[in-house]
Amino acid sequence: MELTEEERRSIEWDCTRLVSLYATLNDEGRWAEVAALYAEDGVMTRPTAPDVPIEGRAAVLASFEGRPPRVTRHICSNIVIDVEDADHASGASVMLLFTAFGPPLVGNFDDRFVRTGEGWRFAERRGSLTFAPS
């Protein structure tokens, strides 16, 4: 079934909001809410560890809870969402991370989104660094 322009834009908006909400909740240390943005079987790879997938919502939550406290600010930009069908989309974004512990990091996220009973969620969030720290 072909999507209307309004349906396509709605999906694009929902997925864009998910990317922004991820950064906001991450900066606020609201780990359970960050993990809830993933599908139950969602997969995350951090930009600083792109070859180490973290599989499942519970494991994503544990990975965030296991990190030492820190103050961060994530800036998201260049978010482009491609709607595949009524229940699947993919996207890419650029992330700039500021911390008190070192120089800013610039990276990318390649995302796959899925519509669930809870709404749109990350099926996969794959991070990578564009400029590696020296």
Residue 105 has pLDDT above 70, yes or no: yes
Report the pLDDT value the prediction gives residue 109, as an integer from 0 to 100: 98
DSSP string, 95-116: EEEEETTEEEEEEEEEEEEEEE
- Asked whether the predicted pLDDT for residue 133 surpasses 70, the reply is no
CA 78 to chain centre: 14
Closest listed residue to residue 105, CA positions, set 126, 79, 75: 75
**Strand, coil or helix: what is 84?**
strand
pLDDT at residue 134 in the model: 65
Mean pLDDT of the chain: 95
pLDDT confidence of residue 101: 83
Number of structural domains (the chain) is 1
pLDDT band at 4 (very low <50, low <70, confident <90, very high): very high
* E strands, the chain, in order: 38-45, 54-55, 72-85, 88-99, 102-116, 119-131
Q: Model confidence over 53-102: pLDDT tens digits?
A: 999 999 999 999 999 888 999 999 999 999 999 999 999 999 999 998 88
User: Of 33-37, 39-43, 78-82, 99-103, which range is least confident?
Assistant: 99-103
**CATH label of the domain that carries residue 90:** 3.10.450.50
Q: Which domain holds residue 86?
A: 5-131
Residue 24 CB burial class (10 angstroms; 0-12, 13-18, ≥19): middle
User: Using an 8 Å Cβ cutoff, are 70 and 101 in contact?
Assistant: yes
What pLDDT score does 100 carry?
87
